[in-house]
């Protein structure tokens, strides 16, 4: 395999555009353009079919961004106490349903701001270390086996996740997958600006990314398969010919049953208990765990 290196990214959402659908489209197209790809030495036998896997609670126990934040906290980007405090705060907001549109706009605009002016290479190196330290042992073997079945059939396999594309690509590479579609941060002169290109890779943005990648790679979406644990990914699951619910939440399980989708559950009671806190991190991700961290940082005037 030959790894296609990360391409520089200076694109950003056009000024003045605040429409969610437009931002999701921009995010999807940017993610597809930034997707790192494993180029096989010989063409895969099946070039028009592929598989797309959500990461959090689908490929990995808990939320990848939670572990990413924890790893960065260990490297003094911020403190573990602040991570835990914000995750709990976001969980309460989610349960109470009290997040306003203003909160969400702030989260979106501040997401990944904690890496502002950091060199891309620095964050990539930290991401590699964090994956090995905190994430490698949390991969669901059952889901990994599903991905391998697609690879063995000569199909390509991409991760599709709200986590930063740099980290998502590392996870994909470590698992021997084709590549990853993730949240794209604006990069200028090899450094992060702290702004997003479009939206977080979430909900409709995932579907837009898959569409854009399918067009670029010549995929027939009716022959593709998507895997997820959450109803948040219904746009992506509904886009492909085959949808599979993996470790599904109650809402997705109900949808899967009503639509005749396959359900795979690799959890046990013990494992479900172990991933309880990172699962809260998933909800926080939707609400912007990173945006909250940057708000904490600004309030306390941390020098990083």
Q: Where are the domains of the chain?
A: 9-300
DSSP SS3 for 281: helix
Tell me, what's the pLDDT at 237? 98
Name the DSSP letter for residue 43.
-
Q: What is the pLDDT of residues 243-252, one digit of tens each?
A: 999 999 999 9
Kindly state the average pLDDT of the residues 272-279: 42
Lookup result for tokens 């009503």: 258
Tell me, what's the pLDDT at 195? 83
Distances (CA, A) of 128 to 10, 72, 79, 171: 23, 12, 20, 8
Its sign, for the CA torsion 141, 32, 27, 183, is: positive
Tell me, what's the pLDDT at 303? 29
Task: Find out whether 162 and 181 touch, Cβ atoms under 8 Å.
Answer: no
Kindly state the average pLDDT of the residues 58-63: 94
Lowest pLDDT segment from 31-45, 64-78, 127-141, 266-280: 266-280
- Angle of helix 276-287 versus helix 101-110 axis, rounded to 10: 100
Tell me, what's the pLDDT at 196? 84
Enter the pTM of the model: 0.76
| pLDDT(273) > 60 | no
Kindly state the average pLDDT of the residues 168-196: 92
Q: Which of 53-67, 185-199, 279-293 has the highest mean pLDDT?
A: 53-67
Q: What's the mean pLDDT when you consider all of the chain?
A: 76
Lowest pLDDT segment from 13-17, 71-75, 197-201, 276-280: 276-280
Other C-beta atoms closer than 10 Å to the C-beta of 84 total 16
Residues 6+ apart with CB under 8 A from 31: 165, 181, 182, 183, 184, 201, 205, 209, 212, 213
Active site residues: 54, 56
**pLDDT tier at 53, thresholds 50, 70, 90:** very high
DSSP-H helix ranges across the chain: 20-34, 64-74, 80-96, 101-110, 120-130, 141-152, 165-174, 204-217, 234-237, 250-259, 269-274, 276-287, 289-300
Rg (CA), the chain: 18
Q: Tell me the percentage of the chain whose pLDDT exceeds 90.
A: 47
Rounded CA-CA distance 220/183 in Å is 24
- Angle of helix 120-130 versus helix 165-174 axis, rounded to 10: 40
Kindly state the average pLDDT of the residues 68-88: 72
| pLDDT(80) > 90 | no
Tell me which fold the domain 9-300 belongs to. Rossmann fold (3.40.50)
Tell me, what's the pLDDT at 28? 56
Lookup result for tokens 């997401």: 111
CA angle 252, 155, 176 (to 5 degrees): 85
Tell me, what's the pLDDT at 281? 39
Tell me, what's the pLDDT at 73? 83
Q: What is the pLDDT of residues 103-145, one digit of tens each?
A: 445 555 555 667 788 899 999 999 999 999 999 999 999 999 9
């Amino acid at each position: 395999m030959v790894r296609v290196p990360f391409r520089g990214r200076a694109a950003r959402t056009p000024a003045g555009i605040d429409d969610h659908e437009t931002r999701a489209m921009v995010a999807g197209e940017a993610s597809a353009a930034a997707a790192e790809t494993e180029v096989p030495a010989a063409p895969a036998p099946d070039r028009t079919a592929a598989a797309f896997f959500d990461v959090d609670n689908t490929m990995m126990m808990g939320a990848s961004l939670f572990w990413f934040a924890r790893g960065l906290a260990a490297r003094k980007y911020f403190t573990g106490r602040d991570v835990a405090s914000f995750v709990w705060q976001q969980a309460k907001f989610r349960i109470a349903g009290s997040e306003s549109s203003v909160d969400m706009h702030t989260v979106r605009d501040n997401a990944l701001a904690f890496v502002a002016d950091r060199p891309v290479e620095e964050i990539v190196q930290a991401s590699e270390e964090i994956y090995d330290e905190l994430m490698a042992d949390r991969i669901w073997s059952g889901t990994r086996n599903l991905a391998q079945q697609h690879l063995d059939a000569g199909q390509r396999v991409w991760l599709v996740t709200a986590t930063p594309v740099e980290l998502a690509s590392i996870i994909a590479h470590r698992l021997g997958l084709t590549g990853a579609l993730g949240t794209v941060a604006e990069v200028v002169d090899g450094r992060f600006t702290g702004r997003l290109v479009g939206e977080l890779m979430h909900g409709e943005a995932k579907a837009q990314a898959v569409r854009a990648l399918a067009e670029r790679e010549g995929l027939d979406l009716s022959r593709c398969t998507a895997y997820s644990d959450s109803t948040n990914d219904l746009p992506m699951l509904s886009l492909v010919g085959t949808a599979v619910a993996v470790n599904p939440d109650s809402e997705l399980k109900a949808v899967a049953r009503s639509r005749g989708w396959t359900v795979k559950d690799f959890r046990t009671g013990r494992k479900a208990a172990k991933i309880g806190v990172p699962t809260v991190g998933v909800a926080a991700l939707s609400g912007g765990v990173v945006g909250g961290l940057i708000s904490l940082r600004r309030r306390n005037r941390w020098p990083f």
